[in-house]
Structure 1
C-alpha cells in the first residue's frame, strides 16, 4: 500500500523545542513518537476552536436579547406591544441553543405548544364564562384535569418524548395560564392570547435569524466530524496495541496507558450522538446535509464503534498479560495492521463523503484475515507454552478475530450509508 503523510513545517524555534521535548521524554532508551505531539497540538487546536464557538454563541445571545429589548426601550414599539414584550425576551432566553438544530427544534415546539394550548385554553375559557356560576369552576377544573393528565401521559411515549417533549410542556403551561385567567369575568381572553402569541413569534424570529445567519453551528456537522474522528482514534489505538505485542513485560509496564481514555470517550458517546442526531433532523438544507438525511445510520455506526472500543480495551489487557513476544503475536501484528488500514481508509471515505467502490473486496479480505487468525491457535504453534500463556494467546487471537469481524460490520454500515445518502463515487486501490 502506498500512502502519503502530510508533515507540518514549523519554524526553526518550534523544531528545536520539539527535539528538546522528545529528549526529555526518553523512557528506558525509547523516545516518545512525534505523532503524540502532533496529536496534542491537534487537541489544543480543537479546544481553541470550541472556545471560539462558545464565545460566538455568547455574543449571538447578547445580540438577540438587545434586539428584543428594543420592544421595551423604544416608545413606538412599547406602545404597540406593552407589557407583553416580556414574552419575547422569555422566548429568546428559553429557545436559544448552541446548535441551530436545537434552536429550531425548541422554537418549533414552543410555537406549536403555544398555539394549540392557547387556542384550546381560549375556547375552554369562553365556554366557562358562558356557563357561569358554579359550573364555571367545575368546567375549568375538569378541563385542566383531563388535558393535563392526557398531555402528561403522552410525554411517556418514546417517540413523542424524543422530539416533542418540550412542546407538550409548553402546551400544558399555556393552556393552564389561559383557561385559569378566563375564570374571572370581564377579561378579554382572546385579545390577551393574541398579543402574547405575537410577542412569542417576534422572539422566535429574532432567535432563529441570529442563530442561522450569524456564524451558525450545525449539529449535523458536529455529529459527522465526531464519528469520523472515532474511526481514526480507534485505528491509532489498535496501532498502539500492535506495537505493544513486540515489547517485553518491563517495557509494557513503563508504557503509559492512553487507549483507556480514547476508548472511554467512545463508549460514553451514545447520549451525545442521539442528541446531535435529533437536533440535526430539525436543520434546513446546508452544504452536505439536507432534509430526510439518514441519521439513523450514524447512530448505528456509533453503536458498532462502541462495541469495537470495548473489544480494543479487552485486547490491550490480553497483550499486557502476555509474558513475552511470540511468533503468534507477531502474526497478529501483521493482521492487525490490515485492520488499522481498513479503519483509516473507511474513516477517510466518510470524511470526504465519497464512495469506496472496492468495499466488497475489503470485506472479502477481512474475511480471509479472520480465517488466517483461526490458524494461529493451532496446537502445533502454542503447545510449547505453559497453560496460562496458552490461554493468553488464545484470548488474544479470539479478540483479534472479533475486532476483524466488527470492522467488517463497520465497512458494511458505511457502504449502506454511502448508497442511501448518495455519496460521490470514489475508486480506491485495495492493498492491505
Structure 2
C-alpha cells in the first residue's frame, strides 16, 4: 500500500482547491502508539493483576500486625478486625476505586457512628419503654432515608457504598444497648482502626505501581478513533472487492464496532473512578472527564452508523460490478477523508494537543460531503442504473454521508475537550 493518500479539498464547488497529499503513515505513527499502548495494557493485564494481588497481600500482612504484635493488639484489641475488613473491602484494582470506597467508608462510618451515638444517648436518657421506642423510630427513619437516597441516580453513582456503610454503622451502634460512654469508646476505636486500614490501602495502592483509571480511559478513548478508521477502510475494501476474504473482513469490522458500542458501562465506571484520583501525570484536578463520556457517546453513534453500512454491504440486492466501479473513486476519496480525520482526532486526543478542526479538519469533511451529495444526484446515476440499483447505491452513499455528519460533531467535541482541558496548541 502506498505511504500517502491523495485527498482533494474543495469548497462547495466554488473555487476548487488544489489536491493535497496527506502523509497517512506519519499521522498513523502516534495513533499506533495508542493502539500499541492499549494492546500492551491488555497483554500486560496478567502482569498488572499479579502486581495488584501482591499489593493486596502486602496490605493484609501489614494490617495483620495489629493482631500479631502484642503492643499493637493491646491498644486496639478485637477492633483490629475492622482494619482487616477495611483492607479486604476497599482495596480495588484502580487507585480511584480504592479512594472512592475508602472515603465513602470513612464518611459513612463517621455519620452513622455519630448519629447512632446521639440516638443511643437520647434513648438512655429517656429509659424504660421509651428507650425501645426511640431506638426503633431512629432505625426506621434513618434506615428508610438512607435507602431512598441510594436510589437517587446522582447519589448512587458516587456514594452508594457510603450510604450502605452508614446504614450498617448506625444500626450496629444504636441497637448495641450499651451505656453512652461505652458506645462512644467503641465507636472511636472502630473508627481509628478503619482509618488505619484505609491508610495502609492508600500507601500500598497509590504509592506502589498504581493503576490509574484515568490513564485507561484516556488511552482507550483515543484508540477507538483508530479502530473505527480501520473498520471504515475494511468495509470499503470489501464493498469494492479489494480484499480476498470478504467475510472475515466484514466480521472483523463488526467486532471492532461491537466493542465500541458495548463500551459505555466501562467508560462510565472509569470516568467515575478517575474523578476520585489525585493530581498525577498530565491529569490535573477537576479534569473534564465528563467530556470523555460525551465523546464516547458520539463514537458509539458513529459505530452504529458503520454497522448499518456493513448491513447495507451484506444486503443481497447490490449494484453491478460496473456500477460499483463507477462510484469507487469518489467513495474511496470520501472514505480517505473520513479515516484521515478520525486518525487526526485520535492523535490530538492522545497527545493532548488542539487539532483546530475549523482550519484543518472541517474543510476535509465539507469536501467529502459535497462529493457524496453530487454522486447520488439524478444527473450522475439516473442514466446508468435501474430503480433497484439506484436505491442500493443511494443507501450506501447516504450512510457514508451520515458518517461525515457525525464526524463533524465529533470534531467539535474534541475541540471543546481541548479547550476545557487546556491542551497545548498544535504546531501546524
Same fold (TM over 0.5): yes
Q: What's 1:26 paired with?
A: none
Instruction: Please give the residue correspondences for 1:250-261 in structure 2 after superposition, counting only pairs within 5 Å.
Output: 252-253=246-247, 255=249, 257-261=251-255
1:369 equivalent to 2:354? Answer no
* Structure 1 contact 71–81 (Cα < 8 Å) conserved: yes
Aligned with residue 56 of structure 1, among 51, 54, 57: 51
* Structure 1 contact 122–179 (Cα < 8 Å) conserved: yes
Aligned with residue 229 of structure 2, among 226, 230, 235: 235
Q: What's 2:334 paired with?
A: 335
Q: What's 1:139 paired with?
A: 134
- Seen in structure 2, the aligned counterparts of structure 1 residues 314 and 353 have a Cα distance that, compared at 3 Å, is same
- Seen in structure 2, the aligned counterparts of structure 1 residues 39 and 423 have a Cα distance that, compared at 3 Å, is closer
Paired with 2:136 and 2:88, the residues of 1 have a C-alpha distance of 31
Paired with 1:137 and 1:52, the residues of 2 have a C-alpha distance of 55
Quick one: higher RCO (CA 8 Å, sep 6+), 1 or 2? 2
**TM-score for both structures, normalised by structure 2:** 0.88
1:167 equivalent to 2:188? Answer no
- Seen in structure 2, the aligned counterparts of structure 1 residues 426 and 272 have a Cα distance that, compared at 3 Å, is same
Deviation per CA, 1:341-393, whole angstroms, max 9, x where unpaired? 00001111111111123543411331232122111111233232232221111
1:81 equivalent to 2:82? Answer no
* Structure 2 contact 120–180 (Cα < 8 Å) conserved: no
- Seen in structure 2, the aligned counterparts of structure 1 residues 121 and 235 have a Cα distance that, compared at 3 Å, is same
Aligned residues: 399
2:276 partner SS: coil
The offset of 1:39, in angstroms, is 12
Q: What's 1:398 paired with?
A: 398
List runs of 5+ in structure 1 lacking aligned partners.
9-37
Q: What's 2:413 paired with?
A: 413
- Seen in structure 2, the aligned counterparts of structure 1 residues 120 and 99 have a Cα distance that, compared at 3 Å, is same
The offset of 1:248, in angstroms, is 8.0
Q: What's 2:280 paired with?
A: 286
Q: What's 2:183 paired with?
A: 189
Deviation per CA, 1:252-310, whole angstroms, max 9, x where unpaired? 45755201111111001111111111111100000110111111110000000000000
1:212 equivalent to 2:233? Answer no
Paired with 1:243 and 1:162, the residues of 2 have a C-alpha distance of 43
List runs of 5+ in structure 2 lacking aligned partners.
1-21
Paired with 2:207 and 2:149, the residues of 1 have a C-alpha distance of 35
Paired with 2:37 and 2:426, the residues of 1 have a C-alpha distance of 27
Structural RMSD (CA):
2.4
The offset of 1:126, in angstroms, is 1.0
